[in-house]
Structure 1
């Protein structure tokens, strides 16, 4: 196996932390610029807990994880090689993903670069924990495509709620709940926002663990079939809330094409 010999968790790695004031500081910076993705990594680091560590350990012991590690395919390079997926059918997961990334001006490598601002190479550990955390990071935009949550502010918050129930990182839930509070204050739409966040969390609990799947193998498949295979529900409360936001502000989310509305 390509990763044989690597420790599950490097003995010098600190795998838990609870620094809420540090998390609040970085959340304030994220509020000022929602594209400043580096702040997300700071918040996650400040509030990381043992539940996600236990899930990681359980996953890397499975045959599915061993298969992924043995294949040792560069997920970021594969996702950013859009020409590789050009032959896929129009309704394939691959084509939806490529369309989403090109429309939004994103690359998987760009998210990696943001994470490296937070933690340069010399501060990272060569263990399976690192492989797992990187997998969670590198599949984030695939989560957008699979779940139907857009990159508008509410879509990001709902996806964070979904992701928390999948991966159990307290920092992710922290951002989702504080972000929802701010959104409710600004819009006055308390219950619709709460309903969308609750729905995101429920859908995350009900779905299979997305980051634990062989998503590269699924890219050529029909996206509707993949969603059914992964037990992914439809974010109806989110879509209704987006419609309400647009009644208040017709420009809401129009600069970012809403995958959920086009699905």
Structure 2
């Protein structure tokens, strides 16, 4: 991005005076080797969320700022920024979310987060571990909103927190907000899964390609009124957002279970059997 184009974004403001791009925010740098190193860390520990954020930072999208400008400076963006300035406070208030009718997205979200021992605040803390500086601009709001809707993606798509589920969610996200980071983690992660369970008949690549297609066909979740979606029946929200069932992902799980492979512990599944077990 040229300095002239970048400067133009520092002169765009929301009606309340918030600048689109703070002039002190460092220009994004394309650092593929840093991305690869952090991807290797992620393959060793899929819970290393800080590595995920560093991958995204290292592979900036060329249309990132135009995408933020189109949304954040729109009437809808202005409304959402006023009503949902900080999503973690909404998403972590399970007491309020549980007051919605049974079968709502809110109940499904609370069930998921409580079962997994997760919180929106925890994801914020993981993001902070990456050491990214913060600035009072619309870019910050957009980045935060992208991060804070990640677990909602899991709930709406039906992809779990196993390795294939995470790769699928990231490719679904790429379909909505393209970036090379999503592609790297999604497709390279899927290839690594196939390597770990070599010989399995599970359609791993078909599963992640399906996720990618679904993401492209669904309206961007980040641009939806999250508070309102949480109050609605989850099946109704899925229909409205054109998110079908993840058939190929579930087929992978079905086949793995038949093959004696634990989808949530593929590293253990790929280890050679102990000598005493072979002898038996």
Q: TM-score, normalised by structure 1?
A: 0.90
Match of 1:45 in 2: 57
Distance 1:72 1:225 in 2: 22
Residue in 2 that maps onto 1:228: 239
Higher mean Cα deviation, 245-254 or 40-49? 245-254
Match of 1:78 among 83, 86, 90: 90
CA contact (8 A) 1:15 1:53 kept: no
Find the counterpart in structure 1 of residue 115 from structure 2.
103
What is the RMSD computed on CA atoms of the aligned residues?
1.9
What is the aligned residue count? 252
1:7-86 correspondence runs (5 A): 7-86=19-98
**Do the aligned residues in 1 keep the contact of 2:163 with 2:263 (CA within 8 Å)?**
no
Match status 1:203 vs 2:226: no
SS at 1:219 equivalent: helix
Q: After the TM superposition, which of the residue ranges 154-163 and 187-196 deviates more from structure 2?
A: 187-196
Single out whichever of 208-217 and 63-72 deviates more from structure 2.
63-72
Alignment of 1:1-263 (within 5 A): 4-119=16-131, 123-188=133-198, 189=200, 192-253=203-264
| Residues 2, 72 of structure 1: 8 Å contact kept | no
- Unaligned ranges ≥5, structure 2: 1-12, 266-280
- 1:12 positional shift: 2.9
Cα displacement string for residues 171-216 of structure 1 (whole angstroms, at most 9, x for unaligned residues): 1111111111111111134771110011000000000101110011
Q: Which runs of 5+ in 1 are unaligned?
A: 255-263
Larger Rg: 2
| Structure with more relative contact order (C-alpha pairs < 8 Å, separation 6 or more) | 1
**Distance 1:49-1:14 versus aligned 2 partners, 3 A rule:** farther
Distance of 1:118 and 1:160 partners within structure 2: 18
Deviation at 1:61, TM superposition (A): 2.3
Q: Say which is worse superposed, 73-82 or 8-17, in terms of deviation.
A: 8-17
Q: Deviations over 1:89-111 (max 9, x none)?
A: 22100000000000000000000
**What TM-score, normalized by structure 2, do the two folds share?**
0.85
